[in-house]
Homo-oligomer: A and B are copies of this chain.
């Protein structure tokens, strides 16, 4: 029968008739302990299934080896995959992670941060909620001396490290690809213009057009909100133009799938009549027909880098560092016009 309370050093010491210090030292392989005694102690520890009490350790060192992750949600593939990258690196370094979702709400984000501070996490990796425009709750982390790294949606870059994707460059690359594979008139479907990410990707799109000396037409840019329905609406609008586009770059996965549905409803072929590129993860792009050419975020890698960066901050007092991880163009069926 096991006792309810876990075995402690004291228990082992008593049983062997030695002091607690001796047992502690023996289990850490201190060279000061007699070889024979050491062996006996280790044997008993294994027998009794001794496990060091992490609370005592944390109390002593004030470091629970836990880091907090704060994301808008955990269900979106993008975040889930990043979390996956983070936790794998954390685990490899003997850290556990605690995950909290803001559900895009400012109040929940603030509360989560409070919880993390109360828990005394050693560091935090966070992605801002859409609602958040005031960052004072994050500044508090500086006072509390809790290293923090932001990813994707970032802020206070002078104080915190960050990991992001190359929004402008990736949109530019995507547009270039369309122009180089038979498309002449490329349209852009984005989200709300106030979002940094929208501005940057649109900028990359426009940049690619300028490069090729293609005149910019305002009607070919549809920016309203992010979401499947808006992708559908946007594509319908674009395809109803007197001079409709023969290619669409959708800056988000739901927008892209919405646009795809619209193109089909208009009885147009992809990519023959209208090419389409989105930003998606591997899975979804292959599920649809035709398979969707996409810019793919290196999400797992973003997670890994975020965590590595954080661990460096935890270990030493480094200056904020900013990393950009490029998105990759994965060519599938929806972009290359056959006639090419």
Tell me, yes or no, whether A96 is within 8 Å of chain B by CB: yes
Per-position contact with B for A139-158: 1 when CB-CB < 8 Å, else 0?
A: 00001110000000000000
Tell me, yes or no, whether A192 is within 8 Å of chain B by CB: no
Contact flag A2-B74 (CB < 8 Å), given A55-B59, A98-B98, A118-B51: no
Residues in B whose Cβ lies below 8 Å from that of A284? 284, 287
- CB distance B97 to A84 under 8 Å? no
Most buried by B among A77, A81, A99: A99
Per-position contact with B for A242-264: 1 when CB-CB < 8 Å, else 0?
A: 00000000000000010011001
Residues in B whose Cβ lies below 8 Å from that of A84? 73-75, 101
**Nearest CB to that of A96 among chain B residues?**
B98
**Nearest CB to that of A140 among chain B residues?**
B49
- CB distance A4 to B96 under 8 Å? no
Residues in B whose Cβ lies below 8 Å from that of A88? 101
Near B by CB (< 8 A), chain A positions 60-74 give 62, 64, 66, 73-74
**Nearest CB to that of A1 among chain B residues?**
B143
Tell me, yes or no, whether A289 is within 8 Å of chain B by CB: yes
A301 CB to nearest chain B CB (Å): 14
Contact flag A143-B2 (CB < 8 Å), given A59-B53, A101-B87: yes
**Nearest CB to that of A108 among chain B residues?**
B91
Tell me, yes or no, whether A115 is within 8 Å of chain B by CB: yes
Residues of chain A whose beta carbon lies under 8 Å from any beta carbon of chain B: 2, 4-6, 51-56, 58-59, 62, 64, 66, 73-75, 77, 80-81, 83-84, 87-88, 91, 96-101, 115, 117-120, 143-145, 228, 257, 260-261, 264, 284, 286-289
Residues in B whose Cβ lies below 8 Å from that of A80? 74-75, 80
Say which residue of B55, B58, B62, B119 sits within 8 Å of A96 (CB atoms).
Answer: B119
Say which residue of B119, B145, B287, B288 sits within 8 Å of A4 (CB atoms).
Answer: B145
* Complex: A98 Cα to B121 Cα, angstroms: 12
A248 CB to nearest chain B CB (Å): 16
A27 CB to nearest chain B CB (Å): 14
What are 20 A-B contacts defined by CB distance under 8 Å?
A2-B145, A4-B145, A5-B62, A51-B117, A53-B120, A54-B118, A54-B120, A56-B59, A73-B84, A74-B80, A74-B87, A87-B101, A91-B115, A96-B98, A97-B98, A228-B287, A284-B287, A287-B288, A288-B289, A289-B289
